[in-house]
Amino acid sequence: MHLDRTHALLPRVEWREESPSTNAELREMAQAAVRSGSPLPHGILLVTDQQTAGKGRLERGWVTPKGQALAVSVLVRGFGAEIGDATGKPDWGELGPAWLPLIAGSAVTAGLQPLYRATDDHEALRVGTKWPNDVHVRDEDDAIEGRPGKKLCGILCELLPDGSAVFGMGLNLLIPEWELPTDRATSLLASGADVGGAESFADEAGADLADRVIEGIVSDLLRLTKLAAESPQAIRNRVARNSLTLGTEVRAHLPGGKLVDGRARALAADGALIIDLPTGGSLEVNAADIEHLR
């Protein structure tokens, strides 16, 4: 796949016909480059449409069916870095690296929302983030019931020993509804997005869709990582605005099996989810599966 728009944006783009895990490959490439004394540049990207042994959050499997979904990984050298920069120690500024998955979710939201358009019969579906690292699309009924809708994209960010990070995303673009892995997942095609008649990345429309989506998401990601250094509060506002979780009743599935119900109120300084408890007080959650309650 040529990915002309993406190549024009970034210092280096590598397409793989198949990869066990783009995150693992890029992590190994980055660490080898550091050992050699020539670190990889900010914004290098690795992508495949057939990931066979990827891992998502909590070590869950993360694979992509060929020609229908993408696994994309990008090297991020801190907040404020320029595209192509490979010098200096990565600096995560006031926000810290825990905000990278949240920023990435906002970038994915911005890249996918324009593909959903209003019609005479209904308003455009809304794309947004489900804390901490998923991007969903939902309709008006979902919004009324406090549901996050269905998952379009999963995000996994990994901090490397030199202080840089790998941002990885799995994008469901052209998976037909009957081939989706669960009833909680969807794709651009299955949810009615404008995919320009594409059915597979093997056709011209599909390859163009993949290029437009990757370029749009990564362009916004790199813009937001610069903004994170210049105006942390603007980032906090942007992430909150894109959240489908804030303001809803949730159940946090905590490590060890404990369950906590409450109302997701805000994000803490480190990106943790602040849940107001029905008995009074609040809880800051850094690691949990969040279930939206009706």
Domain ranges of the chain: 4-240, 247-292
Distance CA 44, CA 105 (A): 19
Q: Which pLDDT tens digit goes with each residue over 190-234?
A: 999 999 999 999 999 999 999 999 999 999 999 999 999 999 999
Distance CA 79, CA 60 (A): 28
Average pLDDT over residues 168-172: 96
Model confidence band, residue 292 (pLDDT cutoffs 50, 70, 90): very high
Please give the pLDDT value at position 58: 47
Better-scored residue on pLDDT, 66 or 223 = 223
Q: Which residues contact 45 (CB under 8 A, 6 or more apart)?
A: 6, 10, 12, 13, 14, 72, 73, 74, 75, 214, 218
Distance CA 177, CA 186 (A): 7
Instruction: Provide the 8-state DSSP code for 51.
Output: B
Q: Please report, as a single letter, which amino acid is at residue 198.
A: A
Instruction: Provide the 8-state DSSP code for 185.
Output: B
Q: Looking up tokens 């959650």, which residue turns up?
A: 285
Please give the pLDDT value at position 51: 87
Please give the pLDDT value at position 54: 57
Please give the pLDDT value at position 124: 87
CATH topology of domain 247-292: SH3 type barrels. (2.30.30)
Better-scored residue on pLDDT, 120 or 271 = 271
Class of residue 192 by CB neighbours under 10 A (exposed 0-12, middle 13-18, buried 19+): middle
Please give the pLDDT value at position 8: 97
Please give the pLDDT value at position 158: 96
**Contact by Cβ (8 Å): 201, 187:** no
Please give the pLDDT value at position 13: 97
**Contact by Cβ (8 Å): 30, 14:** no
211, 259, 203, 243: which is closest to 47 by C-alpha? 211
Could you tell me the sign of the dihedral formed by the alpha carbons of 127, 171, 215, 1, in that order? Answer: negative
Phi, psi angle pair for 141, to nearest 5° = -60, -40
The beta strands (E) that lie in the chain are given as 13-16, 45-48, 54-55, 61-62, 69-76, 126-130, 134-138, 150-159, 165-172, 249-253, 259-267, 273-276, 282-285, 289-292
Query: Is the pLDDT assigned to residue 294 strictly greater than 90?
Result: no
Order of strands, sheet of 289-292, starting from the edge strand that comes earlier in the sequence = 282-285, 273-276, 259-267, 249-253, 289-292
Q: Which CATH superfamily is domain 4-240 in?
A: Bira Bifunctional Protein; Domain 2 (3.30.930.10)
Across the chain, mean pLDDT equals 93
